[in-house]
């Protein structure tokens, strides 16, 4: 029976060490706690262990059981150590809270000073509403004057352009008249005369008188030259058909 219990204990300890990462000492303490409190039983035949509740098979339960199996003096020492750590943290928190409260008072004082300064600045600030109205009025008048000046200049430019266009049309009309007059002139010697029907008839007659040539004689001479050229031309036989 003793050997079977030892075998069951060895299996329990090795399984706890492998699955939950406990040391051999802690795994042994967990076995002793479970066995003492009848949370585990040993099969007297096969040397196997059986948990009363499957929920006890986890790492947290094993660690708690290992702590519970420690001697009373050791547990007391651990509790005292834990108590001292908690008291030290409590004192640290109290000190931090005191510093925060002191800083809060300083911030409140600074905030009050800032508010007072803001009130004094607001009281000393000049009223700029009247100045703003004057600036707006002056800006409006300047804008109106500028728009009127632009309109006046535009009207002057339009009038000037109209006069220039009228002068250009007048100049073009006069230039056309001068060109037509220059084209309709007849120069006789050094005298310039307007081209009229009598002037044209007189010029034609004067040109015919200045030729010194009889047109009928010229026509007869031209026919004689044609006849002589025909007589001198070689005779050509009947037209032959080329096959």
Contact between residue 198 and residue 186 where contact means Cβ atoms under 8 Å apart? no
Contact between residue 39 and residue 56 where contact means Cβ atoms under 8 Å apart? yes
Contact between residue 56 and residue 18 where contact means Cβ atoms under 8 Å apart? no
pLDDT at 40: 93
Contact between residue 66 and residue 33 where contact means Cβ atoms under 8 Å apart? yes
pLDDT at 5: 87
Average pLDDT of the chain, as a whole number: 80
pLDDT at 242: 44
pLDDT at 15: 94
pLDDT < 50 stretches in the chain: 241-243
* Residues recorded for the chain: 243
Confidence (pTM): 0.31
pLDDT, one tens digit per residue, over 117-161 is 888 877 776 556 676 788 788 888 888 888 898 888 888 888 888
pLDDT at 133: 81
pLDDT, one tens digit per residue, over 40-62 is 999 877 778 999 999 999 999 99
At residue 48, what are phi and psi to the nearest 5 degrees?
-105, 155
pLDDT at 24: 94
Percent of the chain scored above 70 by pLDDT? Answer: 74
């Amino acid at each position: 029976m003793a050997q079977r219990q030892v075998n069951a204990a060895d299996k329990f300890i090795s399984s706890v060490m492998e699955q939950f990462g406990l040391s051999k000492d802690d795994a042994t303490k967990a076995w002793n706690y479970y066995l003492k409190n009848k949370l585990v039983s040993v099969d007297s035949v096969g040397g196997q262990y059986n948990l009363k509740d499957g929920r006890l098979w986890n790492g947290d339960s094993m660690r708690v059981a290992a702590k519970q199996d420690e001697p009373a003096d050791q547990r007391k020492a651990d509790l005292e150590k834990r108590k001292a750590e908690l008291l030290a943290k409590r004192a640290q928190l109290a000190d931090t809270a005191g510093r925060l409260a002191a800083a809060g008072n300083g911030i409140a004082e600074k905030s009050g000073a800032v508010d007072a300064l803001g009130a004094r600045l607001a009281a000393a600030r000049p009223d700029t509403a009247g100045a703003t109205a004057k600036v707006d009025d002056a800006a409006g008048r300047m804008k109106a004057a500028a728009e009127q000046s632009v309109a006046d200049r535009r009207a002057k430019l339009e009038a000037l352009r109209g006069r220039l266009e009228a002068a250009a049309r007048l100049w073009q009309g006069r230039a056309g008249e001068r060109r037509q007059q220059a084209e309709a002139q007849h120069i006789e010697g050094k005298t310039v005369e307007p081209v009229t029907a009598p002037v044209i008839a007189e010029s034609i007659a004067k040109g015919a008188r200045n030729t010194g040539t009889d047109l009928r004689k010229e026509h007869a001479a031209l026919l004689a030259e044609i006849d002589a050229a025909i007589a001198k031309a070689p005779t050509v036989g009947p037209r032959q058909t080329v096959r």
